[in-house]
Homo-oligomer: A and B are copies of this chain.
Amino acid sequence: MNKVNVVVGQSGGPTAVINSSLYGVIKESFNNTDRIDKVYGMVNGIQGFIEDRYIDIRKEMSDEEIELLKTTPAAYLGSCRYKLPEEFSDSIYPAIFKKFSDLGIGYFIYIGGNDSMDTVHKLSVYAKKTNSSVRIIGIPKTIDNDLTHTDHSPGYGSAAKYVAATVRDIVMDASVYNAESVTIVELMGRHAGWITAASILARKFENDNPALIYLPENEFCLDEFVESVKKEVEKRNTVVVCVSEGIKDKEGKFICEYASESGTDNFGHKMLTGCGKYLENVVKDRLGIKVRSVELNVNQRCKEMLSSLTDINEAVMAGEFGVKACLDGQTGMMVSFKREDKNGYRIDCELTDCADVCNQEKEVPTDWILDSGKGVTQDFVEYVKPLIQGENIPVMEGGLPKYCYRK
Contact = CB atoms under 8 A, between A and B. Distances in A.
A264 B262 contact: yes
Interface residues of A, number: 80
B308 A399 contact: yes
Interface stretch (A56-64, A76-84, A322-330): A76-84
A169 B299 contact: yes
A83 B48 CA distance: 61
Contacts of A401: 165, 168
Contacts of A389: 398-399
A352 interface: no
B298 A173 contact: yes
A75 B173 CA distance: 8
A1 to B, nearest CB: 36
Interface string A384-407: 010011110100101111010100
Contacts of A399: 161, 164, 201, 308, 385, 388-391
A271 interface: yes
Contacts of A43: 178
A114 B117 CA distance: 56
Contacts of A298: 170, 173-174, 292, 294
Contacts of A161: 399-400
Contacts of A285: 268-270
Contact of A170 (B258, B261, B299): B299
A78 B177 contact: yes
Instruction: Tell me the number of copies of this protein.
Output: 2
A178 B281 contact: no
Interface string A259-303: 101111111111111000110111011000000101101110111
A313 interface: no
A308 to B, nearest CB: 7
27 contacts: A14-B173, A73-B173, A74-B173, A78-B175, A78-B176, A164-B399, A166-B299, A168-B400, A168-B403, A170-B299, A173-B298, A201-B400, A205-B405, A258-B267, A261-B266, A262-B265, A265-B278, A270-B281, A271-B273, A271-B277, A272-B281, A294-B295, A294-B297, A295-B295, A305-B305, A305-B306, A389-B399
Interface of A: 10, 14, 43-44, 47-48, 72-75, 78-81, 161, 164-166, 168-170, 172-178, 201-202, 204-205, 258-259, 261-273, 277-278, 280-282, 284-285, 292, 294-295, 297-299, 301-306, 308, 385, 388-391, 393, 396, 398-401, 403, 405
